[in-house]
Structure 1
């Protein structure tokens, strides 16, 4: 069968238009989610018409861009600010929509040449970089910081030294990381989607990689759905619908995916101090608000809420389900130990991804030379980092067990896919 079907010729002839649709759809989806999330968080009331620029900055950070603090505090007041966190709800939305736009012209095909796929991805990448450049240039804003009606505030106003803090975008790092993010999304889309065409030389790897990649995406999405249900229940029973909506639209995976690793037995380290009050589950906040750096794991969280142990049961059920899905999409005679190894490797890579994108750090503060920090509402710090190697080791262990059991469960149900030579080895 020819790799160049009428659908393929149409994609080649109108590739730039379809690439533009894919890019604009992805960015528009991220912009809408970011805008509603920031609006729920109260950012629409910021002065100076800053809301659109903050939305742009949120989209930039969602694709790996670098947003840096910009301050102009004069000589009287010194300011510091730092923020390193990815709004993963926005990231996930953009990845799903962009992947859909990338795969749509390639549907109904089994094979595509490497040159054709590279050309199609290249058109998307060019338009993506142009759009990201525009967002990076738009994501810049400064604000005046009111210091109150006391003597310090009067002196600042008298000498015209009112501090201004804000943010700007590092353009070149943003373009680089944004391009890497896009490449990861497109490659993952080809690995996950059953109907996505591959070059002929890579077809032999399809049965080994694609079921495991698909199972991990299902696992991540399932945990987001579980987190969404929990968030809606909390909002219905405890109030605060605006804050809950902001969490859902901006950072639900930031809480759900680290919870997956904690259910495996992993440990994160973190601390919250000062006026920081980020929305997070009460047990997590209680653990983090300690005099020293705290260990965040099942034991420490359970000291404040015993229901945390349910994370282990949720992990067990969802991992077994993912392993079953992987086995059901694999060739019928693939041995159980192969499923176990593939599941372990796939889960370890997934946990590594969570450890990289789930970490967060933020701090801000104002100080006056000779006086020191202006504490209270004008300073705070937060950070959360994983113990990576322990998390990876636990992921391998859980993956081996879940993969083996999932393969056994899939046998009576029957599997899709042809029996291949791989299953005989």
Structure 2
């Protein structure tokens, strides 16, 4: 006897507002916990004026693409400048995984789903998500005083009553737009990556061409995060700096390991570090970025400081071949090797594009009192990191073609039973 289809009331219950609220709250709580622990490990709990909770809120806002505006100054005698564009991808990844799992959970054990039903379920999550972003936006604003640090400037500050301040606020309209786009991307990717979630009839054609490749790319990204975590823990155990390592893991590990993924493919990034910065990074990366006004970050320049960098090529090759094998083994046998190569080329090119767009960093701060002090005078700093975008995307497509084809050949012996192998490649 075949199971009875779920009634309309059961479907509404599975996709109701209570379930949507639970999904949104679970994602926000998970992101907040990761951001709190990461910022605590980085020493942000010592910020003045009880700013720590608001900095946590600002971190969650930036993790979903929100915009935080920085400001600084000290009245008419002092000017301050500040700017920050960086996405804490550890927090972003946590939120994406929890939201994706919550979105897919009511759809499990379903053979089919309708487009209107799926859109309604996503819309409930989106409405509550936007309300949560508004609350976070109003929470993520603070102004607090800073110590000048330099003795001469401190004396001048005391003489003229200058009290340097720095603050941040949330651009709520831009944050809502970016947060909504981020949510849409997460839900769409979750639907495409899942092997069991039902697709509406209009999207069934993506079952064979898109899902295996999307799943393979997510596996590669998560594998890099796991490997990076293991390496970071080993470094912390052997060389110390446990708190800094924990801060990297909880705030920016994907920023580093996905950067390494693109560099292993042959991509080039350009950047510069000046002055002190509280953003922890590997020693070799810091050395290269401080070596020139605009440093080139690629395999050759990094290998000049540490020859082990060449192992990134090996790691990329092994992981991408494994992903290509997985993609081909989970696809019908009628899909030819050249089609697998094209699918993986497109998927890897889009993945590299996403990494390049989300991995860019731009940060600067400075303070000048009566014209004394600037970005290069010890009272400021500058950090930027930008990819050579289209060459990186092209290299990703090339690697996808090669590894996709080879992975398809390796997967031939493990084709699904009952399917016929095509005669031509």
Structure 2 length-normalised TM:
0.95
Q: Is the 8 A contact 2:329 2:415 kept in 1?
A: yes
| SS, match of residue 204 in structure 2 | helix
Matched, 1:304 2:288: no
Q: Is the 8 A contact 1:8 1:105 kept in 2?
A: no
- Other-structure match for 1:212: 213
1:375 to partner: Cα distance: 4.9
- Other-structure match for 1:322: 323
Deviating more after overlay: 84-93 vs 369-378? 369-378
Q: State how far apart, in whole Å, the 2-side matches of 1:326 and 1:166 are.
A: 48
Q: State how far apart, in whole Å, the 2-side matches of 1:71 and 1:406 are.
A: 54
Change (3 A) 1:8 1:414: farther
Q: Is the 8 A contact 2:220 2:319 kept in 1?
A: yes
Q: What stretches of structure 1 of length at least 5 have no aligned partner?
A: none
Q: Is the 8 A contact 2:274 2:376 kept in 1?
A: no
Q: Is the 8 A contact 2:365 2:375 kept in 1?
A: no
- Other-structure match for 1:359: 360
Q: State how far apart, in whole Å, the 1-side matches of 2:128 and 2:400 are.
A: 39
Change (3 A) 1:274 1:365: same
| SS, match of residue 348 in structure 1 | helix
Structure 1 length-normalised TM:
0.95
Change (3 A) 1:374 1:89: closer
Change (3 A) 1:412 1:420: closer
| SS, match of residue 295 in structure 1 | strand
Q: Is the 8 A contact 1:334 1:423 kept in 2?
A: no
Q: State how far apart, in whole Å, the 2-side matches of 1:149 and 1:100 are.
A: 50
RMSD over aligned CA atoms reads 2.2
Query: Alpha-carbon deviations, 1:128-172, whole Å to 9, x = none?
Result: 000110000000111212224845434434544312112110010
Matched, 1:406 2:407: yes
Q: Is the 8 A contact 1:33 1:90 kept in 2?
A: yes
Q: Is the 8 A contact 2:325 2:411 kept in 1?
A: yes
Change (3 A) 1:3 1:364: farther
Change (3 A) 1:37 1:379: same
Q: What stretches of structure 2 of length at least 5 have no aligned partner?
A: none
Change (3 A) 1:148 1:406: closer
| SS, match of residue 362 in structure 1 | strand
Q: Is the 8 A contact 1:136 1:169 kept in 2?
A: yes
Change (3 A) 1:59 1:245: same
- Other-structure match for 2:179: 178
Query: Alpha-carbon deviations, 1:74-128, whole Å to 9, x = none?
Result: 1111101111000000000000000011111111112111111110000000000
Change (3 A) 1:226 1:7: farther
- Other-structure match for 2:232: 231
Q: State how far apart, in whole Å, the 1-side matches of 2:146 and 2:14 are.
A: 54
Matches within 5 A, 1:268-279: 268-276=269-277, 278-279=279-280
1:230 to partner: Cα distance: 1.1
| SS, match of residue 348 in structure 2 | helix
Change (3 A) 1:97 1:424: farther
